Structure 1
Amino acid sequence: MELDIALILTQDGITSGAVYALLALALVLVFAVTRVIFIPQGEYVAYGALTMAMLQQGKVPATLWLLIVLGALAAGLDAWKALRGGSRAGLAASFGWCLGYPLALAALMYALPASQSVLVQSALTLAILVPLGPLVYRLAYQPVAEAPVLILLIVSVAIHVAMVGLGLLFFGAEGARTSAFSDAQFALGSLTVSGQQVWVVAVSAALIGGLWLFFERSLYGKALRATAINRNGARLMGFSPVFAGKLTFLLAAFIGVLSGILIAPLTTIYYDTGFLIGLKGFVAAIVGGLASYPIAAAGALLVGVLESFSSFWASAYKEVFVFTLIIPVLMWRSFTSHHVEEEE
């Protein structure tokens, strides 16, 4: 293999690895705080890319109606709980966020002109899809938050199947790409780097740095870390596990949707593409033991580079090479770690 080809493949691998790193961080975060293996993480990537594509076509995304329906269901559950328990504290805030926000966003969508800048379209995509994270937690995971990990995994599989089916209903079977954030081209020796690739790597690095500052410096970040270490201890110190779950799913949804927006100009996204992308992020998270953020990020870069070189050597088997990586990692971890029974 010539050096120029190796550099091009490494460049593509780093671009893909940056996105896988974000997904791996989201998966590690969700599992550490809530014990949920969040299989639908990849669906947020597909929803983000395809919602952005619908906005660029001048259409109102169907995911807006999903937000309204889930918000109405969450508000109804909170109202029913308040009526049964007799306490109506926080009910007004719940109705404001679950119903008022989606309806106001729908009114804004219909009031805006059909054509907006790419940044405005990105902001609208995030505004529509990111709130789905806490709503999914409220409706699907909060009622079974104390259940065993296996039950939470089954719930994740059910949500994944439902989101894939809704994706087919909302977006159809046709794939879509979006306009690039930048059409610039940069020459680095024999390499040509596109402006969109720079956007992907730069935004991924900035988001990873922002998450590090959030967990190290902010009160909520430290509270999430405490919940990840000891849920009961965090509860005794006054930090609600319910709020921790909603905040964690909010961050996971933000990371997934932003990843979809970033990669949509580089590859065609279909309604079911997110599952495969999410699985590669999951492989990277497994490399980090679903606990270490730096190791998961390094594993994501390894997955991206391995996928890129596998595509060159044997494109039909590139997925096999990537997912086979998980076998030696699991074997090594099984030999070097001790089995600990799950806490009741």
Structure 2
Amino acid sequence: MIATFLIQDGVTNGAIYALLGLALVLLFSVTRVIFIPQGEFVAYGALTLALLDGGKVPATTSLLVCFGAIAFLFDLWSMRRGTDARTFLRSLALNLVLPGVIYGITIVLAPLALPSVAKALLTILIITPMGAYIYRIAYRPLADASVLVLLIASIGVHLAMMGLGLVFFGAEGLRAEPLANDNYTIGSLMVSAQSLCIYGATIAIIVGLYLFFERTLLGKALRATAVNRLGARLVGVRTHLTGITAFTLAAAIGAVSGVLIGPITTIYYDTGFLIGLKGFVAAIIGGLASFPITAIAAIGVGLVESFSSFFASSFKEVIVFGLIIPVLIWLSLSGGFHEEE
């Protein structure tokens, strides 16, 4: 009986880690960025949903407008030597008009008693554009830098986003309302509707990513960039577009993860870092390259965490993060040396 509950808890947590691991593999494959702040999107999403549940306008809307304004200034600087009106208007629409519209929609809808699904969709709408703005501000100027430089930039972005989370959300933890309150009995096991939402969303995102990469032109462009960035650029793939797309998808996945995990645990401004690291463990086990192995490894991480919290709760985090040590040793012994690494 206890093992059954532990397995259910492990699979539920592992599904969230799978989403984060997939986002990390996607970003590293396309942009060579080890995106440490992925967990911040989770925290922002969960806290945004919790504030919407309370009928408040979440601070992330103001943060979104600030990010958009900074990205617009970056575009203006890059256009200082001359540009066409179309490029200027596109930058204006994406960086100023879009966040302004989202801000206005949120002000109108936040006080209303919206259904839980509507508030979840509004949360995803608020968080998703942040990925594109963060790429434009922090990573696009460093697109051709080494992996080490991009890693240092990721550390800086993580610290900045965590500090902004403290400023905009405060130090108090929040918990969102469940998307569904029902419970179902399967044999001797009781499964909550929220857990089923997590399983369903994870499967849907995995299938959606597969169809996106296999069936769409933009998805194939991302695959080409992941295989050979220089070669993709030589055949006409705009690597800036693929970078923005990858970061936008990662932000959307983080927002969905926050919406799913917000009702089952109390989220603080810095909670996302620990959650993101566990997704990073799964991504490392997958070699930062394989989506299926990363998803399977994430479930394994969730199961290890669940059982270790029961049998050795004081060493739970040590055991989970210790999983990457034998993997790193194996990769270092079996992989060839690359100058860029």
Scaled by the length of structure 1, the TM-score of the pair is 0.97
The Cα shift of 1:306 comes to 0.1
d(CA) in 2 for partners of 1:337 and 1:330? 10
**Counterpart of 1:301?**
299
Question: 1:137-170: per-residue Cα shift (whole Å, max 9, x none)?
Answer: 0000000110111110111000100111111111
Partner of 2:35: 38
In structure 2, C-alpha distance between the alignment counterparts of 1:313 and 1:209, rounded to whole Å: 35
Superimposed CA distance per residue, residues 169-192 of structure 1 (whole angstroms, 9 cap, x where no aligned partner):
111111111111111111111111
* Contact 1:19 1:200 survives alignment (8 Å): yes
**What is the identity, as a one-letter code, of the residue corresponding to 1:137?**
Y
1:49 corresponds to which of 30, 37, 46? 46
* Separation in 2, partners of 1:9, 1:108: 41
Q: Aligned pair 1:131/2:129, yes or no?
A: yes
1:51 positional shift: 0.6
Deviation of 1:80 (Å): 2.6
The partner residue of 2:154 within 156, 167, 190 is 156
- For residue 199 of structure 1, what is the amino acid of its counterpart? C
Equivalent residue number for residue 99 of structure 2: 102
Equivalent of 1:90 in 83, 87, 90: 87
Aligned twin of 1:276? 274
Give the drift of 1:81: 1.9
For residues 106-155 of structure 1, give each alpha carbon's deviation from its aligned partner in whole angstroms, at most 9, with x where no partner exists. 22222234321111111111111100001000000000110111110111
1:184-220, Cα deviation, whole Å (9 max, x unpaired): 1111111110010000011111111110111111111
Structure 1 window deviating more from structure 2 (74-83 vs 281-290): it is 74-83
1:256 is aligned, of 238, 254, 257, to: 254
Question: 2-side partners of 1:91 and 1:336: how far apart?
Answer: 49
Letter in 2 for 1:74: A
> Which secondary structure state, in structure 1, belongs to the residue aligned with residue 91 of structure 2?
helix
The whole-number CA distance in structure 2 between the counterparts of 1:322 and 1:225 is: 31
Query: Which blocks of at least 5 consecutive residues in structure 2 are unaligned?
Result: none
Q: Report if aligned partners of 1:62, 1:170 keep a CA contact under 8 Å in 2.
A: yes
Question: Which of 197, 202, 205 lines up with 2:203 in the alignment?
Answer: 205
Shift of 1:87: 4.1
**CA–CA distance in structure 2, aligned partners of residues 149 and 220 of structure 1:** 24
- Structure 2 letter corresponding to 1:116: L
Aligned to 1:15: 12
Match of 1:334, SS state, is helix
What is the match of residue 67 of structure 2? Answer: 70
Amino acid at match of 2:327: V
**1:265, CA displacement in angstroms?**
0.8
Query: What does the per-residue CA deviation read over 1:225-245, in whole Å, with 9 as the maximum and x for residues that have no partner?
Result: 000001111111211110010
State the one-letter code of the partner of 1:117.
P
Q: 1:267 aligns with which of 265, 282, 289?
A: 265
Q: Which digits, 9 at most, give the CA deviation of each residue in 1:6-41, with x for residues without a partner?
A: 111001000000010010000000001000000000
Q: Which structure 2 residues correspond to residues 106-185 of structure 1 after superposition, within 5 A?
A: 106-112=103-109, 113-185=111-183
Q: Which runs of 5+ in 1 are unaligned?
A: none
User: In structure 1, what is the equivalent of residue 290 of structure 2?
Assistant: 292
The Cα shift of 1:332 comes to: 1.2
**Paired residues, what number?**
340
How far apart are the structure 1 equivalents of 2:74 and 2:260? Answer: 35
Cα RMSD for the two superposed structures: 1.1
The aligned counterpart of 2:194 is: 196
Alpha-carbon distance in structure 2 between the residues aligned to 1:111 and 1:177: 23
CA–CA separation in structure 2 for the residues paired with 1:310 and 1:150? 33
2:240 paired with 1:242: yes
Residue 185 of structure 2 aligns to a residue whose secondary structure is: strand
Amino acid at match of 2:96: L
Indicate conservation of the 8 Å contact 1:82/1:88, yes or no. Answer: no
Correspondence for 1:215 among 213, 216, 221: 213
**CA-to-aligned-CA distance 1:264-312 (integer Å, 9 cap, x gap):** 1111111100000000000000000000111111110110000000010
CA distance in 2 between partners of 1:110 and 1:274 (Å): 26
Stretch deviating more after TM superposition (230-239 or 84-93): 84-93
Structure 1 residues 68-96: Cα deviation after superposition (integer angstroms, max 9, x where no partner): 11111111221232232444441101101
Matched, 1:6 2:17: no
